[in-house]
A and B are shown apart, each in its own frame.
Chain A
Amino acid sequence: MEAIRNALDFSDSPRIDLIVAGAIGLAIFVFPLFPHSSFSMSTMIQFLMFSLYGMGWNTIGGYGGQVDLGKAQYVGIGAYTTAVMLIRWDVPFWFSMPIGMCLSVGWSFIIGYPLFRLKGHYFAIATIATSLVLKDLFEVWDFVGASRGIEISPIEFPTPDFMRLLFRDDIYYFYVILGFFFLGILYINWFRRSRLGFQLRSIKDNEDVARSLGINVHWAKIKTYAIATAFVSMVGSFHACYVKNIEPEDTMSLDISILIALMAMLGGAGSLWGPIIGAGILIPLKSYLKEWLGAQAGLVGIDLILYAVIIMLISAFEPRGVWGIVEKIRRKRRK
């Protein structure tokens, strides 16, 4: 009960934040009632998914300061668990998703234990290495369809089916992921003021001091990594049901890992709203650029060039992201 009350307690945010957040949340909620194209609908779902990925990354990368560039492997584990269990044993989404989360968390413990002996660059590159190893394995593993991937065929599984989470109309997916999204916000709101959250921030500021205060640094990092993993894996499972056709290349490639980290970085790592702001900026930008520029002949890659320029500008001039700018303005006003 205490935890739920804490999760619902936003009293430390300024009122203006809450009003804006509430207004945007309401706008997202009623968005499908208004006329919309299927393109904007899928962009919206993408936005919600990447906000959740970003929130997951934000726990370890933002609050903990450990730059993890291997989150895609957990997207892959979650997506493959759900798809394989559905195809082979007809296990519904709502059961396979927790199983996928357990598998991901188990794997995260196995690799997290040695990983968190590393710091900084070494850690970041090692997370990439683990992710690429897993992707290579999935690309030759026949049980999960090797590099062809897995398709959840609409003939075998009739829609709509709430238990298996298979629908023809995107609006159902929208409300399911929106539910996850609100729960995710509440969880992060609880997390950032939990014991672990405070421990993490002290680790980020100064690891030696944190250790001298009696915090088990290694274990705190592993626990947080598991939380981030669970988030990512959950959305990965959703991704499998939503896209219905998964391959190692589009679930586990390095680009996904980077995109996840980038969402949180752009919005502001280590803040509650950061990943959502980041996803809100990047995902529509990406979709529209792809739609407008990428489709025209000879302009392949220009969307990613623009992307790269954004990353470079942020890291050069405002490493704390959009939220950092907001806070800077606020501090100035208070003076």
Chain B
Amino acid sequence: MDILIGSLFAGLLIGMILALVALGLTIIFGVMDIVNFAHGEFLMIGMYTGLLTAQGLGIDPLFTLPVAALVGFLLGIICYFGFIKFIIRGPMVAQLLGTFGLMLFLRNLALLIFGSEDRAVHTGLLVGKSFDLGLGIIVPATKLAAAGLSVAAFFAVWMLMHRTRVGKALTATALDAQGARYMGIPTERMNALAWGIGGASVTIAGALLVNFWSVNPFIGLLFTMIAFAIVALGGFGSIPGAFFAGLVVGLITEIPGFWDFFSYTFDAEWMMDVPMTSFKYMWVYVAYFLIVVFRPRGLFGWKQ
């Protein structure tokens, strides 16, 4: 039983962080109708930013969030004005391969600069500590803090989108860019802002994730695919959808834990033989496939 509750808990915690990862993607897609393949690479940059700032300044990784947010915001803006602006007019093929090129570029730049080895945070206020919640559930403190902070960041972005003038302008651009332009909204700047906010939210997620996840230059693709799955499930462009879908996908990544639970409960020999942990992320891809085939709108989607 404790395995079951433990897996559930772990899945929900990681799901909250993954929701923040997907938030940037869904904002960018909502506002501009472009799918950013480099999203996972933004996350990777956020992770490196958190790691290097913490090590360089000797502060706790949890306090590097403002730096990560700034880096992500600038990165988003630079990518928009330096590159995305040019491919947005082209056909869809060019957009897809263009952001793909961006992904390859960032990944290999990181490889060139940081090398291919795994790096992880070893010191910190919370690193290595854990809470015992009873019922045999032990939660690492870093995960709990990261999940809590990512919910806070998520809520902040949600407030920004729904309670401020800028957020309204962004939503208007998302709904009808041409109409928004007639109403005097600088859509070009809104697009850039969407990239900035998207970049900032994903780098914050990266800086949170690096507390308990080692980073290397190739980590991006996995998170890009996870973010795609979340955004597809939640509905492209939907912010609350991204949150709930994040929790669902978080639970999907914990399928090996549930599998263990059921194989012990039923004492099923054949279930124990399946190397389920090797398939950990395969279920995310399967989930993406099933979602887009059977419900392309997602749970909360309003964009087709």
Contacts and interface: CB of A to CB of B under 8 A. Distances in A.
- In the A-B complex, the 5 residue pairs with the smallest Cβ-Cβ separation, listed nearest first, are A311-B101, A315-B98, A308-B105, A319-B94, A308-B104
30 contacts: A114-B293, A117-B293, A118-B292, A118-B293, A124-B35, A124-B96, A125-B228, A126-B288, A126-B293, A129-B289, A133-B285, A133-B289, A136-B278, A140-B275, A265-B93, A265-B97, A299-B112, A300-B116, A301-B109, A302-B108, A302-B112, A305-B105, A305-B112, A308-B108, A309-B105, A311-B104, A312-B98, A314-B97, A315-B87, A315-B98
Given A129-B288, A136-B282, A304-B104, A122 B296 contact: yes
Nearest to B221: A254
Contacts of A304: 104, 107-108, 111
Given A126-B288, A129-B225, A319-B90, 15 more contacts: A121-B92, A122-B292, A124-B35, A129-B286, A136-B279, A136-B285, A140-B278, A299-B112, A305-B105, A305-B109, A308-B104, A311-B101, A315-B87, A315-B90, A316-B94
A118 B296 contact: yes
Contacts of A136: 278-279, 281-282, 285
Contacts of B107: 301, 304
A315 B289 contact: no
Contacts of A103: none
A65 B86 CA distance: 21
Most-contacted residue by chain A among B35, B115, B285, B293 (CB, 10 A): B285
Contacts of A307: 104
Interface of B: 35, 83, 86-87, 90-98, 100-105, 107-109, 111-112, 115-116, 217, 221, 225, 228, 232, 275, 278-279, 281-282, 285-286, 288-289, 292-293, 296
A291 B9 CA distance: 49
Interface of A: 61, 65, 67, 69, 114-115, 117-118, 120-122, 124-126, 128-130, 132-133, 136-137, 139-140, 254, 258, 261-262, 265, 269, 299-302, 304-305, 307-312, 314-317, 319
Contacts, number: 131
Given A137-B282, A302-B112, A316-B83, A120 B288 contact: no
Contact of B102 (A118, A137, A310, A312): A312
B69 to A, nearest CB: 26
B221 A140 contact: no
Contacts of A302: 108, 112
A109 to B, nearest CB: 15
Contacts of A121: 35, 92, 96
Contacts of A308: 101-105, 108
A322 B117 CA distance: 38
